[in-house]
Amino acid sequence: NAGVTQTPKFQVLKTGQSMTLQCAQDMNHEYMSWYRQDPGMGLRLIHYSVGAGITDQGEVPNGYNVSRSTTEDFPLRLLSAAPSQTSVYFCASSYSRQGASTEAFFGQGTRLTVV
């Protein structure tokens, strides 16, 4: 099983450039999320989705857009990259069991550097 797949694994952007971080899962999970990990900060939630067509903001949404057109895919878009967005990005998915979410399954991460 592929699980949660993120591409690319590494990316260097110039300030002002745009790009999309891809996330796909093959487990038919309803819930998908994006987190960023910064040194000494743990992981912080950027955006999440409870199903196709439904997205919402997390703790640190500024500068990022998301969409969920299918159950499998949840891309994260940086419209105009800034050095403050240099981070490691993790996509996660989970499903509902008896009304509660299971543990989150994480992708391998995307290390983004904005210069």
99 counts as binding another protein under rule CB under 8 A: yes
CB 77 within 8 A of CB 65: yes
Closest approach of another protein to the CB of residue 89, in Å: 12
Closest approach of another protein to the CB of residue 37, in Å: 9
| CA dihedral sign, ordered 32, 109, 46, 19 | negative
| CA dihedral sign, ordered 11, 15, 19, 25 | positive
61 counts as binding another protein under rule CB under 8 A: no
DSSP tag of 104: P
70 counts as binding another protein under rule CB under 8 A: no
Applying CB under 8 A, which residues contact another protein? 31, 33, 35, 40-45, 48, 50, 58, 88, 90, 92, 94, 96, 99-106, 108-109, 111
